[in-house]
Structure 1
Amino acid sequence: MKITSVETFLVPPRWLFCRVATDEGIVGWGEPVVEGRAETVRAAVDELSDLLLGCDPSRIEDLWQLMTKAAFYRGGPVLSSAVAGLDQALWDILGKSLGVPVHQLLGGAVRDEVRIYGWIGGDEPDQVADAAAAQVEAGLTAVKMNASGRASRMPTRAETDEVVSRVAAVREVLGDSRDVAVDFHGRFGAAAARRVLPELAPLHPLFAEEPVLPDYPHALRDVVTASPVPIASGERLYSRTEFLAPLQAGIAVAQPDLSHAGGISEVRRIASLAETFDALLAPHCPLGPLALAASLQVAFATPNFLIQEQSIGIHYNRDAELLDYVLDRAPFAFHDGAIRRWEAPGLGVQIDEDAVRRADTQGHRWRPPTWRHTDGSFAEW
C-alpha cells in the first residue's frame, strides 16, 4: 500500500482537516490545526506531503521521524500540529487496513468509557451558574471554566474575590459529586496564582489549568508547592521534551493536544513520561471530531488517563458544530458524563466528505481576540 495524495480542508468554525489517500482505496483523516493559524498549518502539511507521497502508510513511526526531523529547523506549534494531523490520518489508515480500532493497536483498551467535561461561559461569563446547570442537564458530570476574563498584571482584591465567588457559584450548582476545573489561561502569573489558589482550595477544583504561561516553566515549581489545588498544564507544549520541566516541577495533570503535540504517536509517549512522575493525562481538545476521536483512542488505551475535554456546543462553534461533519453521531453520545468505547476500525469516525468539501469552499479566517489593559498595553487572552 502506498500514499497517493494528501489534501487539506479549511472548515468552519476554525478547523483544518486532512485526507490521506492510498492506492488500495483506504483513506485516513486527521485534524492538523493551530487555532488562528490554520492557513499556515495548511502550508506546512503541503510541504510535509512531499515526504509521504509514495510511502507505505503503515510505517507510522518511520514517517513520524521523517516529518519531525528531516529538516535542519525543527519543532514549534505549526510544524508539530501539521505532523499531528498527518499522524492521526496514518493511524486511521492502519486501523482500517487491519479492521481494528486504533486503541487496539496501542496495546488494547484499559477502560470501557472515557469521562468528559464541557466548557462553560465566555472569557468574561456573567451567568456561569446557569451555564453549569445546562451542562449538567446535558448529562455531564464535570465542567471547566475560566478563572477570570481580562486580568490585571497583579490582580486587585476585588478581582481575586470575583474568581472565588464565580467558582463558588458553579460549585453550588454541581454539588459535591461533580467536578469543576478552573482555567487561568496564563492570565494571572506566578505571584497572583500563589495568592488565589489557596482561596480556591475549599471549593475543591478538579485542577487549576495554566496558572503560569508556558514561557516560564521555571516558575511552576513555586506555584505547585504553594497550591493545595492540583496544577495542570500542557496545551501549549508540543513534545515530550517540553513536558519534562513541568513534570519535574510537579504538575499533577498533563494536557497535550492531539492536534498540536505530534499526534497519537507523541501524545502516547507524553502519557508514558507523565506516568513516571505520577501525573495524569487530560488531553486538551476544544476542536473538531477528528481531534476528539484521536484523543479518545489514546484515552481508551492509557492507564494514567483522567478526563477528556470536548467541544460539542462550545461558544467557538458559531458557524458549524463538531457533529456537522460526521455521518454517524452515535459514537459521540454522552452516557452519564462519559463517551463509551467503540470498536469501529481506525479512528472510528465516519467523515461526511461531501460536507467537508462544501465547507472548504467557504473556509474561514478565525482569529483569537486581541485584549488590552486599561492603560492600552497588551493583555493575555
Structure 2
Amino acid sequence: MTSSSTAAREAQYLPPSDLAANYKRGIQRDFVFKPHPSSTIPGSTRIKKVENFYVRPRWLFVRIETEGGVVGWGEGTLEGHTEAVQGSLADIARRIVGWDAMNIEDIYTYLYRHRFYRGGEVLMSAMSGVDIALWDIKGKVLGVPVWQLLGGAVRERCEVYGWIGGDRPSDVLEQAKARKAQGFTKVKMNATESIAWLDSPHALDETVNRLAQVKSIGIDAGLDFHGRVHKAMAKQLAQQLEPHRPLFIEEPLLPGHVNEMKDLYNKTTIPIALGERLFTRQDVRPYFEAGCIDIIQPDIAHAGGISETRKIAIMAEAYDIGVAPHCPLGPLAFAASLQVGFATPNFVICEMSWKMHYNTGGFDLLTYMTNPEVFEVRDGHIDLLTSPGLGIELNEELIRSEAEEAAKLEPWINPLFRGPDGTVREW
C-alpha cells in the first residue's frame, strides 16, 4: 500500500465551526447578583399571603408574598376547570402560610404526599401555581434568574413555535405566512376537526393537504391530533402524513393507551409527542419504559410546576427523549417553561400562545406584562431571560381589576364537539 493511499484513509480533522469557536468557553453571561434587602433578615422569607386571580382569556395566576415583601407569581391554569383549582388553592393557602418559601422541595413534597390522595390534574395544577411562584420568590430573594438555580444555562435562547388554524383548522397557509413574518420558523396546528371513531378515509385528505400547504413556504409544522383521532383512523393518518414529514404528531391517541401507542410508534417514522395530560413522573414512566414516544410535553401549569417538570425532563434524558413543554397558556407558565428550557440539555422547543386562537377579547400573552420585549421572537427563538426570578414583570393593578371583572363571568370552557348522530366526540 502506498503512503498516499494510507494518507487518504486517515481521519481528517476539520477546524471548529463558528459556533464552536464562539462557545469554546461555554455560555458566558456577565451578571451582578443583587439579593433582595430582606434576604439578610431572619424570618423574612416566610409565606405571608397566598392569593389567586382568574383573568381573561382563561388563565389563573397565583400570587405569594413573603414577610419580607418579596412577591412571587405563578400560574395554575387548568382550562375548563378553573373553579376546581381555585378551591384547591384555597385549601393549600391555609396550609402553607408561615412556611419558609425558600424550602420549595419541602413544600412540594408536603402538598403532594401528605394528604394520602395525590396527583390528578386539579391538585397538580394548584400545586403548579404555588411551585412556580415559590421559584420566582427564590430567584428574587437571591437576585438570580431561575435557570441559575437549576444548574445554569446550557443555551442562550429557546426555540418556540406558534399556532395556526384554530380548533377547526382552516386558512392555514395565510396564517403560516403571518407566523413566518413574525419571526417563527416552526408552527403547530390541529390535525383534524371533529372526527368519528371510524370515519371515511377521505376525512383525512384535508389534513394532508394543509400540511403540504404550510411546508410549501419553507416552514416546519407539528400536527396535534389532540386525542380526537381514535386508533382506526390514527394509523391511517400517520401513514398518509409520513411523505410530508411533519415535525411531530402530538397525542395521536388518547392518554392511557400505552400498548396501542407502541404499536403506532412501530408503524411510523414520524416523531411522536405527548404529555399535556400526564402530570407526574409516575404518569410518564409507562411511556418511557415502553419506548413509544420521542418527545415529552409536560405542561408546567399542570405538571407540578418547575419542580416536577424539571424532574420529568431529567428522567426523559435517560430514555433519549426530548422535552417540548406544552404551553397554550399565559405569560407566567411560558416564562417558567423557558426557565426550565434554558437549563435543560434535552429541551427541544416550547409552545407559545402569542396571538393564539384562544386569546380573544383583547387579551393576549403580553397583556399583563410591563416588559413584553423579553418575549420577542427572533429567528424562531426567545433570548435568555436575565432578570431575577421568572424574568418577567406584571401589571398587578391590571390583574386585580381584571380579576374583579372576570369573576362576574363564567370561566372559559372548551368547545363541545358532536357527530351527525348527536354523540359527543373528542375535542
Q: Same fold (TM over 0.5)?
A: yes
1:334-353 per-residue CA deviation (whole Å, 9 max, x = no partner) reads 11110000210000110110
**2:87 counterpart of 1:46:** no
Q: Choose from 412, 415, 422 the match for 1:366.
A: 412
Tell me which residue corresponds to 1:219: 260
CA deviations on 1:313-345 (whole Å, 9 max, x unpaired) are: 001110211111011111111111100002100
Query: Which residue of the partner structure matches residue 51 of structure 2?
Result: 7
How far apart in 2 are the matches of 1:342 and 1:76? Answer: 31
Q: 2:332 aligns with which of 282, 285, 290?
A: 290
Aligned AA (2:152): G
Cα deviation for residue 359 of structure 1 reads 0.7
TM-score by length of 2: 0.87
Q: CA deviation at 1:126?
A: 2.3
* Match of residue 92 from structure 1: 136
Aligned equivalents of 1:126 and 1:259: distance in 2? 28
Task: Give every structure 1 segment of 4 or more consecutive aligned residues whose post-TM-superposition deviation is greater than 4 Å.
Answer: none
The letter of the residue matching 1:317 is N
TM-superposition CA deviations, 1:176-206 (whole Å, max 9, x none):
xx31000000111223211221221121111
Tell me if structure 1 keeps the 8 A contact 2:214–2:220.
Answer: no
Q: Whole-Å Cα distance in 2 between the matches of residues 288 and 213 of structure 1?
A: 25
Q: Point out where structure 2 has 5 or more consecutive residues left out of the alignment.
A: 1-44
Q: Give the counterpart letter for 2:422 in structure 1.
A: G
Please, what is the CA RMSD of the aligned residues? 1.0
Contact 2:169/2:191 (CA < 8 Å) preserved in 1?
no
Q: TM-score, with normalisation over the residues of structure 1?
A: 0.98
Residue aligning to 1:104 = 148
Residue 145 (structure 1) shift: 0.7
Aligned partner of 2:50: which letter? V
Cα distance in 1 between the residues matched to 2:102 and 2:307? 13
Q: Deviations along 1:97-152, whole A, 9 cap, x unmatched?
A: 00000000000000000010001011222211111111001110000011101112
Match of 1:144 among 162, 174, 188: 188
The structure with the larger Rg is: 2
Residue 226 of structure 2 aligns to which amino acid in structure 1? H
> Percent of aligned positions with the same letter in both sequences?
47
Match of 1:254 among 296, 307, 313: 296
Structure 1 counterpart of 2:114: 70
Aligned: 1:269 with 2:315: no
Q: Secondary structure at the match of 1:226?
A: coil
1:274 and 1:281 in contact (8 A); partners too:
yes
Q: Relative contact order (alpha carbons < 8 A, sep ≥ 6): 1 or 2 greater? A: 1
Residue 60 of structure 1 contacts residue 90 of structure 1 at CA under 8 Å; is this kept in 2? yes
SS in 2 for 1:34: coil
| In the alignment, structure 1 residue 354 sits paired with structure 2 residue 391 | no
Secondary structure (helix, strand or coil) at the match of 2:367 reads helix
Contact residue 230 and residue 251 of structure 1 kept, 8 A:
yes
> The residue matched to 2:354 in structure 1 has which SS?
coil
Point out the more displaced range, 183-192 or 88-97.
183-192
* Residue segments in structure 1 that go unaligned for 5+ positions in a row: none
Paired residue for 1:344, among 376, 381, 387? Answer: 387
> Residue 119 of structure 2 aligns to a residue in which SS?
coil
The amino acid of 2:143's aligned partner reads G
Q: How far has the Cα of 1:81 moved from its partner?
A: 0.3
Alignment match, 1:121: 165
Give the letter for the 1:379 counterpart.
R
Question: Which amino acid is 2:192 matched to?
Answer: S
Whole-Å separation in 1 of the counterparts to 2:220 and 2:67: 47
Secondary structure, aligned partner of 2:222: strand
Is 1:209 matched with 2:250? Answer: yes
> Is the partner of 1:362 in helix, strand or coil?
helix
**TM superposition shift of 1:169:** 1.2
Q: Which residue of 1 aligns with 2:212?
A: 168
Paired letter, 1:355: L
Of 68, 82, 92 in structure 1, the residue corresponding to residue 126 of structure 2 is 82
Conserved? CA contact 1:154–1:188, under 8 Å: no
Separation in structure 2 between the aligned mates of residue 10 and residue 161 of structure 1, nearest angstrom: 40
The SS at the match of 1:200 is helix
> Are 1:322 and 2:377 an aligned pair?
no
Give SS of 2:366's match. Answer: helix
Following superposition, the deviation at residue 217 of structure 1 comes to 2.4
**Match for 1:311 among 326, 341, 353?**
353
1:55 to 96, 99, 110: 99
Alpha-carbon distance in structure 2 between the residues aligned to 1:285 and 1:329: 17
What is the alpha-carbon distance in structure 2 between the residues aligned to residue 273 and residue 215 of structure 1? Answer: 19
Kept in 2: contact 1:186–1:213 (CA 8 A): yes
